[in-house]
Every structure is written in structure tokens, then in C-alpha cells.
Amino acid sequence: MSTIHNSTGADHAYLRGGPAFSSGVVALPGYEIVRARFSRLLPLDEGFDAIAAHLRQRKRPLTALCAAELRSPRPFTLGGFGEFNAQYVDVLRRWGLLDGERVSVARSNVCPLYDPPGQPSFHAFCYTAPIGAVHTGLLTTSDHAPEAPAPRSFVVSGFAEWLEGTPFPDGIVAWGDTSPDALAQKVDFVLDGLERNTAALGARWQALTAVQIYTAHEFGALVHDHFAPRGLVRLGLEWHVCRPPVDGLEFEIDVRSVRRELVVD
């Protein structure tokens, strides 16, 4: 089982993942996770600058950043993905977001089929804020006290139908097959992985507030037998017509339980 570690800012814990992102994050007592979506895609450098400004305005340190949602022009080769990750991790290292060589920030990085960006860009990000803190204009006083029984907020990173560290592409579930049966296998594998990571964070699957699905394939026929039995349909299934970030992958999903969501310019 993967190990939980406290972040360098001691405001959230993270589930160890790959070399460029954690598998998920959960708020520590006294904190909640806030999600902010940009009103337009921002190229990576511009996005990091905007995040830094947003955190400064709310009197939060750079180490409060706990999740990133990225958009890329097209799927990478496995080698190209590694090169991109190295540049991205360099920024996280400068921000103090590496614990040794472990990255604490959760992430999804997907490739829009329509109107893709010209370069890797930020779509949204998450950060920690003290429960009960007032952030003028955008974040109001939390309606639950630190000792209230509300579930802790969490974000689980995008999970696709290939387990990092297994052979590639042979380890991809139903590799090269997009038939209905193959897509069903992929979806079950992805949802099983998300459930495992949610449990490993010590979080509750029943507390989810959002499910984001990234695929270029119609999946309506899978809802009844694969999404509904896991209690996801009540939330609404948010379909982003995107491909996963690496060539050969067809299905990715991320989930979260976040009570505060903003749109920022």
C-alpha cells in the first residue's frame, strides 16, 4: 500500500505517486482545500505566476498549492512526458513543494480534442486554507467549525488505465482496443484505482463532490453498470472531451471532495 506523508506546509497530507505528482491529497485538521478554476487557459509560466499572486492575496504560502489541473496540446510519447514533467517539477522544487524527491501536489494533465492550447497550460488549481478564515471578496467564512463532523476535503489525481511502473504499452488495460467491452474494462480499472487511492488517503468515497471524466469516447452505455453502482451518478458525471496525456491511453478520471470552488480571471 502507498504511504501517506505530511506536506512541507503541514496543512495537507499526500499519497505518494509518480515522479511528477502525488496520487492524491487530503486536508489536515484545521484546513480545507479550495479549488480555483481560471476563466481561460493560462500557459504554464503565466499560470504559476497567477497562482502565486492568488496565494499572496489570500495570505497563503506557495506550499499551500496542493493540486493542479493542466491541459496540453496533444498526447506525449512516454519519453516526451518525462521531459515535460522534469520542467514542471523544477518549479515545484523552487516553491518548496518537494519532500526530498517526492512531489506532494496532485495532478491531472489531459489533452482537449477541441480548441487545444498551443502549449501546456493551467485549467485549475487547488490550495489549502484555514477553516473559518475569511478571504475578502472570494472566500467567505466557512460554515463549519474545525471540530465539526464534516468530512475532510481531498483531491485524487487523474488515474488512467495504465499503472505507472508497469511495462508500457503492454501494461495498458485492453491496449489498442476501444470496443465497448474494452472500454468497460478500462473504466472498471480506473474506478478501482480511484477508490483505492481515496481509501488510502483515509477519505470517504461517499463524500465526493465531483467526478471529472477525460476521454474522446462516448461512455453513456457504461453509466448504468459501471458508474451508477459506485454511487457516482448522483453527482453528475462531468465529461471533458479530452485524451489522457500519453499516447495509447484512452480513459482518465479524477475525483474530489471540495466545498469551496472559485472562478478567477
Q: Please tell me if the domain spanning 4-143+258-264 has the same topology as the one spanning 155-256.
A: yes
Q: What is the mean pLDDT of the chain?
A: 92
For the 155-256 domain, the top CATH level (class) is alpha beta
Q: What is the pLDDT of residue 133?
A: 57
Helix 78-94 vs helix 44-57: angle between axes, to the nearest 10 degrees? 30
pLDDT at 99: 86
pLDDT digits (tens, 9 = 90+) for 78-125: 999 999 999 999 999 999 999 888 999 999 999 999 999 999 999 999
Check whether 149 has a pLDDT greater than 70: no
Phi-psi region of 37 (alpha: psi -120 to 50; beta: other; left: phi over 0): beta
Sheet strands (E) in 44-139: 65-71, 98-99, 102-103, 106-112, 121-130
Look at residue 125 and give its three-state secondary structure.
strand
The per-residue pLDDT for range 29-88, each reduced to its tens digit, is: 999 999 999 999 999 999 999 999 999 999 999 999 999 999 999 999 999 999 999 999
Within the chain, what is the greatest distance between any pair of CA atoms?
Answer: 51
Strand segments (E) across 61-153: 65-71, 98-99, 102-103, 106-112, 121-130
Dihedral pair phi/psi, residue 84, rounded to 5°: -60, -45
Residue boundaries of the structural domains of the chain: 4-143+258-264, 155-256
Query: What pLDDT is stored for residue 61 in this prediction?
Result: 97
> What local confidence, expressed as pLDDT, does residue 57 receive?
97
d(CA 21, CA 141): 30
Q: What is the pLDDT of residues 180-214, one digit of tens each?
A: 999 999 999 999 999 999 999 999 999 999 999 99
- Confidence at residue 150, expressed as pLDDT on a 0 to 100 scale: 58
Residue 2 pLDDT > 70: no
Where is 253: in which H helix or E strand? strand 252-257
| 8 Å CB contact between 161 and 202 | no
Average pLDDT over residues 202-227: 97
Q: What is the pTM of this model?
A: 0.92
Under the banding of pLDDT at 50, 70 and 90, the label for residue 157 is very high
- Indicate the fold that domain 4-143+258-264 takes in CATH: 60s Ribosomal Protein L30; Chain: A; (3.30.1330)
